[in-house]
Structure 1
């Protein structure tokens, strides 16, 4: 992990990808990246061309030699390598920056999870204010605040974009029939709220939605915390940006749809129940729908990406990916919604859970 993260942060994978498939020498890469200068400062060596400079190239060579031995690089000759598809992919920000966001400032949580559990009597963690990550780093900040405090907020934004890679978008007709379920029957007033993306980060899901439906009845609204909204650099002007904390009263009333992607899996049931209550109070009976975009883990034959994400939730947030039964318990029994249908985008894909307010109070 040290070598892979090093390659992301210093730009090694990006440079090698730009250089295409030709064999690339460690010394030339180090010189072009300016790695020598940065490491010379750290090592307090100020003599250009000295043995200290040679040791720096050796450091990069050591990292690349190990990554080659592990299969992440292809060794061509002495200190000469080519990328594999794996390290080439790490030149893409939504992949490479995800390593920094999810490992650089949180990885001690999983590594010390056993200690955290031992000290708490080996019980399943369900307290959002007491997590293995908080224990490992001695902080009261949750994962998201902790990442921001260490300067990895924008890296996390890239990581969130990565969830769409390789899977059918939820707004594709082969996944969820947007026209039939949302557009038909929607308020045609151009100022009416059509789709509200709650906790939508920097707007990647709404950008994707606009690619499928560039014209919709009403407004597209992106909601997230001020620090996240402030990190938006490029977003379609058709999307209204709104600073909002989903633990507070929902300001947008009567939208056609309220959408949450990978929000509820970050929190235990008691917190989710409060989040859902805020949305429920804003919804219009018989009109508004709640769309929850997350994994629905089957009782048997679970897909590895879903179970891996469950381990992230377990060790960083004291939360979990939910099974079919767990979703019904949370959404219907605890939060008081009706689940109309759970739509799937195929094997390994996250699902879209469509919910409505109960009719006459009957769930």
Structure 2
């Protein structure tokens, strides 16, 4: 054995030699290339024909083809160079207003104009040039000629503050925590983090605050975080869509119920984007819609449908809405370890009417095989920032059983979207 960065490794690893060098510069899975290329051809036709689900399947196949064709060395450079520098370049482009300026023109824009319009002194043109070349290399903008650029759909999307805020949010709340995970796990002998006050977040940000305490100290960052929460689920299958969850049969109150009765309580619902979506897709649904969150969050909930009621509430305290038809938690429990989740769930169980009330949990349910990177990646974000987790079906069943709930059904839209866990009080 030899020592490498303080860890014992087999001696053979220290002089792997020519064989490993050859592997490192050879495609990772050459035997899969032909079948993947054939699949891409077929899925491309389906996508062009407008078949439902074809785009996402094509995206998966293309990603698999990239991984199969790419050499291990190229993969290393993609993770170590491309991804982190792309993030930095995009955040810089947002700060300078590059994406907004490009998106405001229907013509190519020369770099000299960009430098002037974004406030960068013409003497620092070289810096702007470096930024733009990398933004083009990672497809954040489109190069149309020498030192000339135009917008694409990504450019136009991050020209909008609500979407662009994802980058400063992750930089200001998450990236250092993720970077701290390897050292944290090594120091804790790879024990699963279970304390949101002693997690990679505190280590990465050099703070004693919890994530939300840290966030509350910075109103600008807090607003950016709320914007991210309002858009990160865009484009995914929604439980409110026809064919996902039978809203009309299982959620809408019966004709004998009167209008003042509460139909849906969105607990920790942020700016109310879910309730707005519900009202838009189910305009005839009877009953009150209640948005609950901290007062500072509710103050930013603008553009709500007039039928949605704001209610300041701390979900660790007694639930004021008793006997509601449904209580909804969207991406709340994944922020917390199990013991804290039990404290959030207890007031809801106490408020529910057995046999009538439903608890609807809209979160990832990680499958036993073939989990998607959006779920597994978010699991690492939760581990880093909160000592929380994206849970498997077995983990959900164990947690909810301990909380006194019975799962009626786990409703699944597709592999890329969150599921809906429907529960009732377990008598």
Structure 2 match to 1:350:
418
SS at match of 2:150: strand
Whole-angstrom distance in 2 between the partners of 1:186 and 1:342: 27
Q: How does 1:118-197 map onto structure 2 within 5 Å?
A: 118-150=186-218, 151-185=220-254, 188-197=257-266
Q: Given the superposition, is the C-alpha separation of residues 133 and 220 from structure 1 closer, same or farther in structure 2, using an over 3 Å criterion?
A: same
Aligned partner (choices 93, 103, 111) of residue 7 of structure 1: 93
Which structure is larger by alpha-carbon Rg, 1 or 2? 2
Whole-angstrom distance in 2 between the partners of 1:58 and 1:210: 51
Q: Given the superposition, is the C-alpha separation of residues 105 and 298 from structure 1 closer, same or farther in structure 2, using an over 3 Å criterion?
A: closer
Q: How does 1:247-326 map onto structure 2 within 5 Å?
A: 247-326=316-395
Structure 1 match to 2:123:
55
SS at match of 2:189: coil
TM-score where L is the length of structure 1: 0.88
Q: Given the superposition, is the C-alpha separation of residues 104 and 30 from structure 1 closer, same or farther in structure 2, using an over 3 Å criterion?
A: farther
Deviation at 1:56, TM superposition (A): 3.0
- Measured against aligned partners, the alpha-carbon deviations of 1:224-246 in whole angstroms (never above 9, x if no partner) come to 11111122222112110011111
Structure 1 match to 2:104:
18
Q: How does 1:42-121 map onto structure 2 within 5 Å?
A: 53-121=121-189
**Residues 198 and 260 of structure 1 are in contact (CA less than 8 Å); yes or no, is this contact kept in structure 2?**
yes
Deviation at 1:119, TM superposition (A): 2.5
- Measured against aligned partners, the alpha-carbon deviations of 1:46-66 in whole angstroms (never above 9, x if no partner) come to xxxxxxx33333322221122
Whole-angstrom distance in 1 between the partners of 2:190 and 2:233: 35
Deviation at 1:145, TM superposition (A): 3.2
Structure 1 match to 2:273:
204
- Measured against aligned partners, the alpha-carbon deviations of 1:323-356 in whole angstroms (never above 9, x if no partner) come to 0111101112x11101000111122111000000
Whole-angstrom distance in 1 between the partners of 2:269 and 2:336: 16
Whole-angstrom distance in 2 between the partners of 1:67 and 1:163: 22
SS at match of 2:251: helix
Whole-angstrom distance in 1 between the partners of 2:195 and 2:267: 22
What is the alpha-carbon root mean square deviation over aligned residues?
Answer: 1.8
Matched, 1:233 2:302: yes
**Residues 344 and 352 of structure 1 are in contact (CA less than 8 Å); yes or no, is this contact kept in structure 2?**
yes
Deviation at 1:140, TM superposition (A): 2.3
**Residues 187 and 217 of structure 1 are in contact (CA less than 8 Å); yes or no, is this contact kept in structure 2?**
no
Number of positions where the alignment pairs a residue of Structure 1 with one of Structure 2? 340
Whole-angstrom distance in 1 between the partners of 2:273 and 2:213: 20
TM-score where L is the length of structure 2: 0.76
Higher helix share: 2
Structure 2: which 5+ residue stretches go unaligned? 1-86
Structure 1: which 5+ residue stretches go unaligned? 37-52
Structure 1 match to 2:62:
none
Structure 2 match to 1:30:
115
Aligned partner (choices 405, 409, 417) of residue 337 of structure 1: 405
SS at match of 2:165: helix
- Measured against aligned partners, the alpha-carbon deviations of 1:68-93 in whole angstroms (never above 9, x if no partner) come to 23343332333212234433332244
**Residues 93 and 131 of structure 2 are in contact (CA less than 8 Å); yes or no, is this contact kept in structure 1?**
no
Deviation at 1:103, TM superposition (A): 2.1
- Measured against aligned partners, the alpha-carbon deviations of 1:189-227 in whole angstroms (never above 9, x if no partner) come to 222211000010000000000111123322100001111
Q: 241-250 or 254-263: which moved more?
A: 241-250
Deviation at 1:256, TM superposition (A): 0.4
